[in-house]
Chains A and B, each alone.
Chain A
Amino acid sequence: MSRIPGSYPRLILFAANEDSTVPTRYPREQMHRIKYTKLTSEQILGKLATAANGPTSASPLSDVFAGKSLKIVLDNGPTLSYRFTDSKRLSLTEGDAVAVQAGYGALTLDRIALFSHLIPKTQRGYIVVVDQDTNLATAFELWFSGYQDNREVQRQVYQGYVDTGAAAPTMRHGITNRVEGHGYFWKQDSGVETLEFYPSVLYSNFVELTRFGGELSWCAPSDYIKISDDKYIYSRVEAEFSGTMTTYVLDPNRVEQVGMRLGFDDADALEYSMFRGKGEWVGQIAQFEPFGDLGTTVAQGNRAAAAAGKGARQVYRPLKTNPIMTRAQVDAAVAKNKTLFAPNNAMAGNRSPMSTFLSGKELTLRYDNGQAFSYRFDGAQSLRWQRDGESGWHEEKYESFESAPGVIMFGHLLSGAKDHDAFSIVADFEHGLVTTLHGTMGTPYMGNESAVKTMFGVVEMKGLTPPKYRRHQFTDELVGRAMSWNYAPGTASPNGAFAPGLTSMHLYSTPHSLSWIIFLGNGAGGLEWSGPASYVKIRDELYFAYWLEEACNGTLGTILINMRTMRNCGIDYGAGTNGLRLSIVGAHARHAGRFNTVKYFTPKTSVTA
C-alpha cells in the first residue's frame, strides 16, 4: 500500500505524571440525577464560537499533517479535501462546497493519526482517523441540534481512504466485535481517570473515577471500529446525560489512547479537547457470539425499530417508555392494583421451587438499627407479621426459596405502610443471621422510583441462638464480575436451531452499581443500562444483591446469587401506571469473566503539603 506523501514522526509517548493524582471529589448530584439544561440551537451556536479555533490539549499537538494536503474519499459520504497550514489551522472543502478555514488538533498513536475540527459558524465538525500505513480512513461527522435534546452530539460514521492518486484500496476499516469484552483503566494527560468496559457491540460502560468520584458506572451508545488487529476506534455519546462525545484510538497492546472530547458539562461550559492517555488492561469478559462471528454487522432482530436517517442508532432512553409519576399518581395506581407474585412472569421461567421451610415456624428478626419484626408463617405462602411493640398482626402473601441448605429468601409487602414498603429478606438459619432489603416507593426525584435500605440483624427463634457480633457484611467479591442470567428455557426447532429463552448479563461494575446487558440475536451484547447497587455476602459463593433502576423504570431488583448451584432466586419490586408489583425472579447463571477492578475503588488519601 502506498503511504500518504511525506514523513510522519513516530509517537512520543505521554508519560503519566504519577504525582498528579487529585483527591477524589464527589459531585453534588450523580450523572443520572443532573438536570442538564435543554440548550437551544442558538445557545449552542454561540458557545461553539471559540471552538472554531480548534480543540484544547494538555499534550503537545502533532504536526503530522502540517504543510500537507489530504483528499479523503468516503463511501456514501462527502469527499473531504484538507489543506493543513500548520499544526493548528486547516482549510476544508466538503465535496464541491466552498473551502472553509478552521482550527484543528491532531494526535498520533504509532502510525495512526487522529484529527478533529469544527466548522466555524456551524454546529458541525469532523473527527478523522487515518492509518498512515494503509491510507484507510474513518471519519465521524459530528453535529449538535440533531435530536430533540440539542446538546446530544450526533454522529455519522463513514469509511474511506486517502486518495493518493493510486488505485483506490478495496479494504476498509469497519465495525467489529473484536474488542467486545475488553476493559481498561485510563489516565488521561488532563489527570482524568476512568474505567471503561465494552460488554456490548452497541454500548459501553464508563466509570468516572475523578470527574464523579467513581461510585457508579453509566452506559452510553458506542461505536467500535477495527483499524487493524491492534488498533481500534472507540466512540461513545453520553446520551440521556450531558450528550458529550468521547472518541479515541485505542492500542490494546500498549494500552494507550489518543482522542477527543466534545460536549457541554453540567454548567453548560463547552469542552472541546484532545487527549492522550495511558492505562491498564483490567481484563476480558466473555463473548457469546458463534465462533467466527467477527461482528461486521449488528444482529438486530426482525422487530427492531428500523434505524433510519443520518446518524441513526439504537439508544436506550428509559424515561421515554417509563414516564415520571408523582407520588399522588403512584398512590392512586397502587390503590387500584397490587400484583403479588403473578405466576405468568417472563423473568421466572427458571424460578427456584417454592420452599416450605418457613411454613409453621414462628420467629423474630431483630435488626441492628433497633427495629424488630415477629413472624408467624401460617403456610407456604401466607404469613403474619408484627412490628416490635404492636399488638395486632398483619397478614401478607409471601414467596420463599431455599437457595442453599438453611438459607431462605422470602419477600412480602408491608400492607398499609405509607411508602408501599416491601421486604426482601435472606435469613440463614444455620448461623442465625438475617439481611433485609427494605424497599420503599418514591424518591425526591420520582414518585415511581424505588429506594432501599439494608438492615443487618439476627434470627431469634426456639432452638436457635444467634451470634452476638457476627453479621452478614457488604462485600466487593462480586465487583468486576460478569454473569449471564437465563430466565426461561430455550426452544429447539426441528431443523436443529436453538432459541434461548429471555437472557441478560449482569456486570457488577462497581461496588455500588450494576449494569445489565441485553443480548442481540447472535449473542452479542446489545443495549445496556446501569443503576446503583450493593452486594452482601451471605456465605461463600452466596451473595445477596440489589440494584435500583433509577431514572429509569424505578424497579428495585433483589437477587440471591448462588455461585455453586449457578442460579439465582429473587424478588422485583416496582410501581407504575399499572399499580404495584412484587414479582418472582429466577434464572440460571453462567460465568462471563471478570475485570480486576477492585483496587480502583479504594478511597484515595488526599496528601497536602
Chain B
Amino acid sequence: MSTTRRTFIAVAGAALSAPVAAAAATTSSWPPPSGGRADSLEARLAKLEDLNELRALNQAFARHVTSGATEELAALAAEPSGVVLEPGVVGISHDGVGEHDVIEIAPDRQTATARLHVAVHTETVIGPDCPLLEMARQQGGGVISRAEPVVLEKAYVRRDGVWKILRVTAVRA
C-alpha cells in the first residue's frame, strides 16, 4: 500500500463519499462511558444485537475478500453495484483478538462506524511475461505477496433493517 489512506471499497454516489470521520462525529461510543446515563435494558439489548450483526458483517467481509467471492461481497454493500476492490488485494486477516477495534453505533441505530485492525494481503504480479513466469502463474505464483497491517475505517448504514457497508477505507497502521 503506497499511500497512507485509500478507499478499499468504493461505492458510487457523492453522498457516500463523505469522510468517515464526519460520520463518526455524530455517533456515541459503545459501551457507554462510565457515569453516563444508563440506557434501558431494551436499548442495551438492541445495541448488543447491532454489535453482533456488525461483527458478523465484518467477518463475512474479510472472508469474501479472501475467497474472492465478489458477488457475496457485493451483497454486503449498501450499493452493490459500486463495490470495487482495490487491485492486488487478495485477503484480509484480523489482527489479534479485536482488542483494539472500535465499533460505534449512532443513537438512532441507523448508521455506524468502525475502526478495525487487520492485515491486508496483496499480490503484485511480476512482469513482463517470460517463460518462467508463465509456469509460475499456472501454479498460482508469479506474484510478490505482501501483508500490511492497516486500520480499516468502515461506515455502515441500515437498509431495510439490515446493516450494510457504506464505505471502507484502509489507513496505514
Residues in chain A within 8 A of chain B (CB atoms): 202, 300-305, 314, 316, 321-322, 342, 344-347, 487-488, 491, 493-495, 497, 499, 501-502, 504, 516, 518-521, 526-527, 529, 549, 552-553, 555, 572, 574, 583
Chain B interface SS verdict (over half): mixed
In the complex, per-residue mask of B139-173: 1 if CB is within 8 Å of any chain A CB, else 0: 11111111111000000000000000000000000
Asked if A518 contacts B135 (CB within 8 A), the reply is yes
- A202, A491, A494: the one contacting B144 at CB < 8 Å is A491
User: Chain B contact residues (Cβ within 8 angstroms of A): what range?
Assistant: 20 to 34
Asked if B126 contacts A314 (CB within 8 A), the reply is no
Query: Which residues from chain A contact B142 at a C-beta distance below 8 Å?
Result: 303, 502
Give CA–CA (A316, B141) in the complex, Å. 14
Q: B125-144: which have CB < 8 Å to A?
A: 126-144
Chain A interface SS verdict (over half): loop
B144: min CB distance to chain A, Å? 5
User: A-B pairs with CB below 8 Å: how many?
Assistant: 100
For the complex of A and B, list the 4 residue pairs with the smallest distance between their C-beta atoms, beginning with the closest.
Answer: A301-B140, A304-B140, A493-B147, A499-B145
B90 at the interface (CB under 8 A from A): yes
- A300, A345, A494: the one contacting B139 at CB < 8 Å is A300
Give CA–CA (A555, B129) in the complex, Å. 13
Query: Which residues from chain A contact B137 at a C-beta distance below 8 Å?
Result: 303
Query: Which residues from chain B contact A519 at a C-beta distance below 8 Å?
Result: 141
Asked if A303 contacts B140 (CB within 8 A), the reply is yes
Asked if A529 contacts B140 (CB within 8 A), the reply is no
Asked if A345 contacts B128 (CB within 8 A), the reply is yes
- A314, A488, A499, A518: the one contacting B146 at CB < 8 Å is A499
Residue picked from A499, A501, A574, most chain B C-beta under 10 Å: A499
Asked if B139 contacts A518 (CB within 8 A), the reply is yes
Residue picked from A494, A529, A553, A555, most chain B C-beta under 10 Å: A494
Give CA–CA (A487, B127) in the complex, Å. 12
Asked if B119 contacts A301 (CB within 8 A), the reply is no
Query: Which residues from chain B contact A314 at a C-beta distance below 8 Å?
Result: 138-139
Task: Return 23 A-B CB contacts under 8 Å, by A number.
Answer: A302-B90, A303-B143, A304-B138, A345-B130, A346-B128, A488-B126, A491-B144, A494-B148, A495-B148, A497-B145, A497-B146, A499-B146, A502-B136, A502-B142, A518-B132, A518-B135, A519-B141, A520-B139, A520-B140, A521-B141, A526-B139, A526-B141, A529-B135
Given contacts A345-B128, A555-B131, contact A305 B147 (CB under 8 A): no
Asked if B139 contacts A491 (CB within 8 A), the reply is no
Query: Which residues from chain A contact B135 at a C-beta distance below 8 Å?
Result: 316, 518, 526-527, 529
Query: Which residues from chain A contact B123 at a C-beta distance below 8 Å?
Result: 302-303
Query: Which residues from chain B contact A526 at a C-beta distance below 8 Å?
Result: 135, 139, 141
Q: Can you add 6 more A-B contacts, CB < 8 Å, to A301-B139, A302-B140?
A: A314-B139, A342-B128, A502-B126, A502-B136, A520-B141, A553-B134
